[in-house]
């Protein structure tokens, strides 16, 4: 049996799965659980999957697993809230010599990630797949199971929703 | 708040400094512009819409600020780094895979004979295959022979019927000894020869094929 082949598959797709889950859930433990779950499902099915549709299958399973986690959270917590204990990884790396501007940029990024998690589906998945993971429209269409033009509409609506959420923040920052 | 959009539009942007750039778009022109902004940022907008939007953006500080925000969001999203899957996740998956082999692997390991039996099983398989081929060929030859005998019998019957009819017409009585010598024996001989010849041919063909 080609165990090496499966391990190659894992190496090729694990970061993609984890990145999607991380930005979709913004919780490392949940992202790890989802990644592990998806890879185990891949182990069960990979020999029956066509190479051509493998990436789409993986992304679809990952997205469904993330949606399940979100649904469970809603059940347990009543709503999805920002995790105050989540470390701000990006803010650790300083990008701007001006501390005020850097603080504003870090705050903007934190709010952007928080806003991203509040987007409805499939907007959130499409924004993550397109803007963060850099997938092509046709790859996203295959993963989400919607026509290419619909993907573009959802992407633009998703970013517009982010803009509406961040509009007040930006206005406040400018005013202060 | 809506006032700034209209006044900006009418005055060619002269009032940009007094507008509230982050207010939500309310004026119809601003709403149209807002709906097109994301496509504009992605450069997925038609030439005519782009021209009109450019004109509006030049005049409207609010929409221009929205464009900046749209561009910033897109750019910040693209700067979010892909995450590396922690090693322990991969290790857990590999451990699971080793502990729970797939059904095909379990089937193969269950069916696979011990290594020392493999040469004997291979020989047995080859012998079984040879026997199968021999059986199929001989069965085919036997079927062919039976068909030829049946055809020859039918031909003999037709020939005898024809002779009987001629003898009736001519009023000639043909004795059994005459039929035996002149008809039955030569036909039987020719059939036997033909069959021998054919079976010799088919054996020659088999030998050639082997």
Query: Is the predicted ipTM greater than 0.90, yes or no?
Result: no
Q: How far apart are CA B169 and CA B21, in angstroms?
A: 125
The pLDDT score that the predictor gives to residue A53 is 85
Contacts of A22 in chain B (CB under 8 A): 83
Check if the beta carbon of residue B8 is closer than 8 Å to that of residue B16: yes
* DSSP-based helix, strand, coil % in chain A, nearest 5: 80, 0, 20
Contacts of A174 in chain B (CB under 8 A): 21-22
B38 touching chain A per CB within 8 A = yes
At B118-149, the pLDDT tens digits run 777 888 888 888 888 888 888 888 888 888 88
Question: Chain-wide mean pLDDT for chain A?
Answer: 82
Q: Can the peptide bond before residue B203 be classed as cis, meaning omega within 30 degrees of 0?
A: no
The pLDDT score that the predictor gives to residue A97 is 62
B14 touching chain A per CB within 8 A = no
Q: How far apart are CA A58 and CA A71, in angstroms?
A: 20
The pLDDT score that the predictor gives to residue B54 is 92
A142 touching chain B per CB within 8 A = no
pLDDT at B18 over 70: no
The pLDDT score that the predictor gives to residue A159 is 94
The pLDDT score that the predictor gives to residue B180 is 78
Q: Which DSSP string do the residues of A26-85 spell out, in sequence order?
A: --HHHHHHHHHHHHHHHHHHGGGS-HHHHHHHHHHHHHHHHHHHHHHHHHHHSS----TT
Contacts of B101 in chain A (CB under 8 A): 1
Q: What is the pTM of this model?
A: 0.61
Question: Which of B65, B83, B97 lies nearest to residue A19, judging by beta carbons?
Answer: B83
Closest CA to A116 of B73, B83, B43, B22: B73
Domain residue spans of chain B? 2-79, 113-209
CB within 8 Å: A39 and B42: no
Q: How far apart are CA A6 and CA B90, in angstroms?
A: 11
Fill in the DSSP letter of residue B156. Answer: H
Query: Does A98-176 carry CATH code 3.40.50.2000?
Result: no
Instruction: Kindly list the distances between the CA atom of residue B176 and the CA atoms of B13, B55, B183, in Å, as whole numbers in the listed order.
Output: 130, 121, 10
pLDDT at B19 over 50: no
Of the given ranges (A15-24, A109-118, A154-163, B144-153), which has the lowest mean pLDDT?
B144-153
Contacts of B67 in chain A (CB under 8 A): none
At B85-111, the pLDDT tens digits run 998 888 888 888 777 766 665 565 556
pLDDT average, residue stretch B156-172 = 78
At B44-98, the pLDDT tens digits run 989 999 999 999 999 898 899 999 999 999 999 999 888 899 988 888 888 887 7
The pLDDT score that the predictor gives to residue B174 is 66
Q: Which DSSP string do the residues of B3-36 spell out, in sequence order?
A: HHHHHHHHTTTTTGGGS-TTSPP-SHHHHHHHHH
Q: Which two tokens stand for residue A171?
A: 């206005």
CB within 8 Å: B80 and A152: no
The pLDDT score that the predictor gives to residue A88 is 44
Fold of the CATH domain A1-80: Rna Polymerase Sigma Factor; Chain: A (1.10.1740)
A139 versus B190: the higher-pLDDT residue is A139
Fill in the DSSP letter of residue B182. Answer: I
B64 touching chain A per CB within 8 A = no
Closest CA to A20 of A112, A143, A108: A143
pLDDT at B116 over 70: no
Domain residue spans of chain A? 1-80, 98-176
pLDDT at B11 over 90: no
Check if the beta carbon of residue A57 is closer than 8 Å to that of residue A48: no
pLDDT average, residue stretch A22-51 = 87
The pLDDT score that the predictor gives to residue B101 is 67
At A97-144, the pLDDT tens digits run 677 777 888 888 889 998 998 899 899 999 999 999 999 999 999 988
B24 touching chain A per CB within 8 A = yes
Q: Which two tokens stand for residue A151?
A: 């993907």
Domains A1-80 and A98-176 share a fold: no
pLDDT at A168 over 90: no
A117 touching chain B per CB within 8 A = no
């Amino acid at each position: 049996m080609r165990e090496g082949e499966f391990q190659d598959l894992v190496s090729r797709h694990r970061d993609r799965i984890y990145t999607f889950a991380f930005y979709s859930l913004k919780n490392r433990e949940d992202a790890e659980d989802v990644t592990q779950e998806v890879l185990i499902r891949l182990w069960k099915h990979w020999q029956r999957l066509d190479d051509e549709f493998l990436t789409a299958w993986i992304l679809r399973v990952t997205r469904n697993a993330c949606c399940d986690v979100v649904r469970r959270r809603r059940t347990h917590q009543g709503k999805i809230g920002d995790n105050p204990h989540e470390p701000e990884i990006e803010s650790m790396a300083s990008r701007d010599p001006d501390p005020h501007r850097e603080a504003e940029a870090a705050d903007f990024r934190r709010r952007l990630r928080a806003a991203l998690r509040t987007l409805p589906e499939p907007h959130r998945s499409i924004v993550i797949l397109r803007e963060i993971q850099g997938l092509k429209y046709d790859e996203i269409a295959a993963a989400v199971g919607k026509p290419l033009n619909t993907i573009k509409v959802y992407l633009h609506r998703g970013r517009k929703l982010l803009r509406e959420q961040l509009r007040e923040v930006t206005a406040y920052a400018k005013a202060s | 708040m809506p006032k700034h959009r209209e006044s900006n539009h009418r005055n060619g942007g002269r009032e940009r400094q007094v507008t509230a750039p982050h207010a939500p778009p309310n004026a119809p022109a601003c709403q149209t512009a807002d709906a097109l902004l994301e496509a504009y940022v992605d450069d997925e907008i038609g030439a005519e819409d782009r021209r009109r939007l450019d004109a509006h953006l030049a005049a409207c500080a609010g929409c221009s600020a929205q464009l900046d925000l749209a561009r910033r969001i897109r750019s910040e999203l693209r700067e979010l780094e892909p995450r590396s899957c922690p090693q322990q996740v991969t290790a857990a998956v590999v451990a699971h895979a080793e502990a729970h082999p797939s059904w095909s692997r379990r089937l193969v390991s269950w069916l696979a004979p011990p290594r020392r039996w493999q040469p004997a099983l291979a020989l047995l398989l080859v012998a079984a295959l040879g026997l199968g081929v021999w059986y199929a060929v001989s069965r085919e030859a036997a079927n062919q022979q039976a068909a030829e005998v049946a055809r020859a019998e039918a031909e003999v019957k037709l020939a005898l019927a024809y002779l009987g009819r001629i003898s009736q017409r001519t009023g000639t009585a043909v004795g059994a000894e005459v039929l035996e010598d002149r008809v039955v024996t030569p036909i039987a001989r020719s059939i036997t020869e033909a069959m021998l010849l054919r079976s010799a041919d088919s054996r020659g063909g088999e030998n050639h094929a082997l």
